[in-house]
Structure 1
């Protein structure tokens, strides 16, 4: 039994070769390498969700998610950086048009950032004064701009929204306005360079603020009306799925080698085969359900079918969590059968295992609802 619609079909063989060859070196460097970045720029992977009017690809969301899964299958760290920076590129649909045109004209444009509201933006006569520190900005070492959420202050007091809560808005900063703080010291996703960053007393004009809300989109097309929450859930779940499939592929080779080198008993060989086939079957079922939900939900927005939008968005959320959970469970079930090579810090099996167990800690998948 094979993985259905294997992610490898989404990528050209030469792209896969470059990504796989450079992945161990990128981990040693603790950041993406120039060769990897050049491939990303050539393929416009950071611009997958950028509006076409700014030179982006503006891909259909369900196709972008499939490509994201393939990139995470090729390498977890590279796929993760592309996912997070592509998600920030989607903000282009909500930015001031003139400002967006300037940002995305750069072939190497990459927006890293954070959704945590750990900064403040003080209203002034000509814009805002920004201060704050944010964590976990994947791609911080190769970005051109940062985005971050800030609580709005005026005359030293929080500005409240229509619900009486502190008003929070995202802002865009130039790389030169930001201080990157080396802080990524985790076992996996090493080459993402997901460091912290800070902004101190930076004055920004009003055009640098934006609202992530379909009512405020500057590009009135389905991609920028689709809710960001489900977009994030689907793309991150696809990352975990891609890493799990990479692990399964490696296990297939490792199990075949073990059958030969360890002179396993027939019942041991049967157990290896059974656990591998069971893992593939289980993942196939959950992936099929995930992509069915995603395709249906995306179709709602492309044909403006408002009647089923809410239910199908909920289905995407549930299917994303189910896929993330199953991907993690499968990797954990297969791991003990891989032998000590899976625990060797420089092995590919170990790198994928570490990437999976780091990426799966994302807060979106902590709880089932």
Structure 2
């Protein structure tokens, strides 16, 4: 791939208008606005990775990461909620079919959750007793079902894997059985509503338990045998790239505003800003090309460890370059970029919050 399209080419202008017009309202609400949510349902974005067997879109990974980048370009919080919730929808490839049919019978089905193993599931006959609390579940306020990761307990003792590590399994629960807790207090991604939740002594049937492993996939399709690690890395990196592209798009108007308000404006100063913008755009696009090429190659050569490792490395590099490009341009944007009620500041806050995700912190 020598050239790369701008994220805007993948979205209808009407969609972008709805998403951005209601982004400030969503931030005030601490969750997606009703208008944004209606659009998500209309376009089935929560079902991007849900199995076609349950009327999901089952989108191939190369197309998915471009779509998610475009949504994050439209608005970081909306893109992140769609990504995390449709990512949980990917678990549909591993759910017990009886439970999956129940979940996806609702055309507004939305699954949210946390992968942190901070709960316990105690075996009781054919059931489990779930207890625990979990943090940072993006989109949880829109969820119809919520996943939890638990240590499996039997006779008051943790069950161990063959290598001696604790056995941990995820469960999918009805949202009405989960208590939401206020927990998101960070500077960005406010509209994701990434709050905490807890479960107390909830009895569930064993069919609510599933295993995220290619060998345990219930749906025999490539999407559900693709490694979860690289799928997660790629989808998160695509979001961060989309936010960076949004910030870069806003730099042009911000630079002009700053130039007209400087007491001493000269061509040299303008040239410095323009050169920085052109350089950052080129660098980010080069990284995007390498990233999308790596995802495409890993999809076309299933199971190839070299290509999968390239997805991991290019995802991390893309996140790093996106953050560095934005930070390079930020000083030229003036106080406009530091005002919390401006679009460019919201994008800056969202990117710097999202890019703190531990999965993309360290380069390989």
| Structure-1-length-normalised TM-score | 0.96
Please point out which of 314, 318, 324 is paired with 1:329: 324
Please point out which of 325, 350, 359 is paired with 2:354: 359
Instruction: Please state whether the residue corresponding to 1:141 is helix, strand or coil.
Output: helix
Moved over 6 A (4+): none
Q: How far off its partner does 1:104 sit?
A: 0.9
Q: How far off its partner does 1:152 sit?
A: 0.2
Alignment of 1:210-289 (within 5 A): 210-262=210-262, 264-289=265-290
Q: Return the alpha-carbon distance in structure 1 between the equivalents of residues 73 and 253 of structure 2.
A: 16
Instruction: Please state whether the residue corresponding to 1:115 is helix, strand or coil.
Output: coil
Which residue is 1:58 aligned to? 58
Query: 1:29 aligned to 2:24?
Result: no
Which residue is 2:311 aligned to? 316
Which residue is 1:14 aligned to? 14
Q: How far off its partner does 1:164 sit?
A: 1.6
Q: Return the alpha-carbon distance in structure 2 between the equivalents of residues 258 and 346 of structure 1.
A: 17
Q: How far off its partner does 1:162 sit?
A: 2.0
Instruction: Please state whether the residue corresponding to 1:112 is helix, strand or coil.
Output: strand
Q: Return the alpha-carbon distance in structure 2 between the equivalents of residues 166 and 365 of structure 1.
A: 25
Q: Do the aligned partners of 2:60 and 2:223 also contact (CA within 8 Å) in 1?
A: yes
Q: Return the alpha-carbon distance in structure 1 between the equivalents of residues 361 and 314 of structure 2.
A: 14
| Structure-2-length-normalised TM-score | 0.97
Q: Return the alpha-carbon distance in structure 2 between the equivalents of residues 22 and 133 of structure 1.
A: 31
Query: What do residues 260-300 of structure 1 show as CA deviations (whole Å, max 9, x unaligned)?
Result: 45462010011011000000010011111001101000111
Instruction: Please state whether the residue corresponding to 2:196 is helix, strand or coil.
Output: strand
Q: Return the alpha-carbon distance in structure 1 between the equivalents of residues 342 and 172 of structure 2.
A: 39
Instruction: Please state whether the residue corresponding to 1:117 is helix, strand or coil.
Output: coil
Instruction: Please state whether the residue corresponding to 1:191 is helix, strand or coil.
Output: helix
Q: How far off its partner does 1:187 sit?
A: 0.4
Q: CA RMSD in A?
A: 1.1
Which residue is 1:73 aligned to? 73
Instruction: Please state whether the residue corresponding to 1:147 is helix, strand or coil.
Output: strand
Q: How far off its partner does 1:256 sit?
A: 2.9
Q: Return the alpha-carbon distance in structure 1 between the equivalents of residues 359 and 83 of structure 2.
A: 14
Q: Do the aligned partners of 1:258 and 1:264 also contact (CA within 8 Å) in 2?
A: no
Query: 1:342 aligned to 2:343?
Result: no
Q: Do the aligned partners of 2:254 and 2:336 also contact (CA within 8 Å) in 1?
A: no
Q: Do the aligned partners of 1:7 and 1:69 also contact (CA within 8 Å) in 2?
A: yes
Aligned residues: 361
Q: Return the alpha-carbon distance in structure 1 between the equivalents of residues 115 and 31 of structure 2.
A: 22
Q: Return the alpha-carbon distance in structure 1 between the equivalents of residues 199 and 106 of structure 2.
A: 23
Which residue is 1:176 aligned to? 176
Q: Return the alpha-carbon distance in structure 2 between the equivalents of residues 261 and 329 of structure 1.
A: 26
Q: Return the alpha-carbon distance in structure 2 between the equivalents of residues 188 and 258 of structure 1.
A: 24
Which residue is 1:95 aligned to? 95
Q: Do the aligned partners of 1:186 and 1:358 also contact (CA within 8 Å) in 2?
A: yes
Query: What do residues 229-254 of structure 1 show as CA deviations (whole Å, max 9, x unaligned)?
Result: 00000000001000000000000121
